[in-house]
Structure 1
Amino acid sequence: MHSLNRLARIAAVLYLLIAVIGPFSIIYVPSTLVVAGDAAATTSNLAASTGLFQAGLVGYLIIFLAEIVLTVILFDLFKAVDHTLSMTAMAARLAMTIIHGLNLLSLFVVSLLASGAAYLSVFDPAQLDALVLLLFNAHDLGYTIGIVFLSLHVMVLGYLVYQSGFLPQVLGILLVLAGLGYVIDSAGLLFFDSYLTTPFYVAIPIAIAEVAFPLWLLIKGVKEEALPKAAPQPA
């Protein structure tokens, strides 16, 4: 049996790895390349920063691998608290990772469109530019859909933390609030054109929870003596 604290600290390292690489691939790269509503400028930026774009793709792949391992470890940490809810949290986070992984195909298609291959000559430059911007926008939508599943994961995880007895209940409350924040943010981005940026009252709980939880796991760990006996798995 793995030490609970060992698992907790591995989870923390993976969380922090995602937290470091995520802003680069998810925020910095697209904000540098994509010019909203201007397909020609977006394609021009892409041509001038191919290395940056490819680095963003590599970052995404690292994130997805880390997400898979993190998801399994979190299940292992909390399965004794509530096996069914731990399975639910795992399924939701894996669903997000699968959606985001498939969604990355749109960015690899962008690479193909920017390659200058001879078969693309059937498109005129304006059409290619429009396709590139369309795929960037489609990727944004796919990413947001994935966050819907993350919101379920984070809320269930928050409940498990609250009930665990081996982590502070305040961390569980913060995670539930963060999950609600993800719901508000993803719904706003998907269904309301006027919702352009995440409001501070949504961003702050998310930021606090997503920083406090892994740092607590890394620095303080968990109270192994408070670990409940594993509940019997459902038939």
Structure 2
Amino acid sequence: MASTVRTARLTGLSYLGLVVTGVAGFMLIRSQIFVEGDGAATLANLTASEGLARLGVVMELGIALTQALTALMFYRLFRGVSSLAAGAIAVFGMVNAVVILASSALLATAVGVAGDRPGALGDDAAAAVQLLYATSEGLWAACGLFFGLWLIPMGWLVLRSRWMPAPLGWMLIAGGSGYVLSTASGLLLPDHSVIGTILTLPATAGEFWILGYLLVKGVRPGAGTGAQVATVA
């Protein structure tokens, strides 16, 4: 029991690292550099705030790292409940980590292009950095598919293990499904972003709920080990 609680809290810590790097890198720093539809402005921001842009690359690498660690920790936590479902969390999380790693390479290249002005690209530097950042945005949009998919087995494992409240499990399943639908709606209805935002709300609530539960309680007091759960389930 003590080992399971310790693993749960370590999982929560790695998840917290994912949230912190994600908020800092994707939501805060990127928004100060990338200007959608305006390559000249993006290039100007890169040139004027090179240190911030480089920090953004580091944060992007941090997202990839913590995503991979969190995926592995969830596998370790739930493998005794269902190795297939736990493996699904790990695989889907690792796919996201690889895609985000590719995104960080694009951002690093954009910083290099901006620092090379007026280099080999000359007046094409603005178009180049805009394409690199836009491609990174596209990779993040594609990540929504597997980010949604990893929440679904996570929610199912919460329900099967009974280590956490059942409503949390259902919220994660609903949130994961909403994220998958949000990814599709973003491609089919690009002018209706509010739909995607609404669809991802259960996922956001479920993430913060499971993060807090893992850090504070780990698992429910008196819960059995993964092997015991697998035996009686």
TM-score of the pair, normalised by structure 2:
0.90
The separation in 2 between residues aligned to 1:149 and 1:116, in whole angstroms, is 35
* Cα distance per residue 1:107-157 (max 9 Å; x no partner): 111022112267x33x332x2101111111100111121221111111111
Work out which of the residue numbers 146, 151, 157 in structure 2 matches 1:149: 146
- Matching residue of 1:74: 74
Query: 1:172, CA displacement in angstroms?
Result: 0.7
- Matching residue of 2:164: 167
Unaligned runs of 5+ in 1: none
Q: Check whether the contact 1:166–1:227 (CA below 8 A) recurs between aligned residues.
A: no
* Cα distance per residue 1:46-87 (max 9 Å; x no partner): 111111111111112222222222111101111111111111
- Matching residue of 2:3: 3
Q: How does 1:1-150 map to 2 (within 5 A)?
A: 3-116=3-116, 120-121=119-120, 123-125=121-123, 127-150=124-147
* Cα distance per residue 1:158-202 (max 9 Å; x no partner): 111111122211111111111012112222223433133565532
Work out which of the residue numbers 179, 202, 206 in structure 1 matches 2:203: 206
The separation in 2 between residues aligned to 1:147 and 1:204, in whole angstroms, is 13
- What SS does structure 2 have at the residue aligned with 1:221? coil
- What SS does structure 2 have at the residue aligned with 1:80? coil
The separation in 1 between residues aligned to 2:72 and 2:88, in whole angstroms, is 12
What residue identity is the alignment partner of 1:177? A
Unaligned runs of 5+ in 2: none
What residue identity is the alignment partner of 1:163? R
Query: 1:29, CA displacement in angstroms?
Result: 1.6
The separation in 1 between residues aligned to 2:169 and 2:216, in whole angstroms, is 17
Q: Check whether the contact 2:67–2:96 (CA below 8 A) recurs between aligned residues.
A: no
TM-score of the pair, normalised by structure 1:
0.89
Q: Check whether the contact 1:141–1:190 (CA below 8 A) recurs between aligned residues.
A: no
Work out which of the residue numbers 165, 170, 190 in structure 2 matches 1:193: 190
Query: 1:27, CA displacement in angstroms?
Result: 1.4
**Which structure has the highest helix share of the two?**
2
The verdict on how the C-alpha distance between 1:200 and 1:188 changes in structure 2, with shifts beyond 3 A counting, is closer
Query: 1:37, CA displacement in angstroms?
Result: 1.2
RMSD: 2.1
The separation in 2 between residues aligned to 1:83 and 1:162, in whole angstroms, is 15
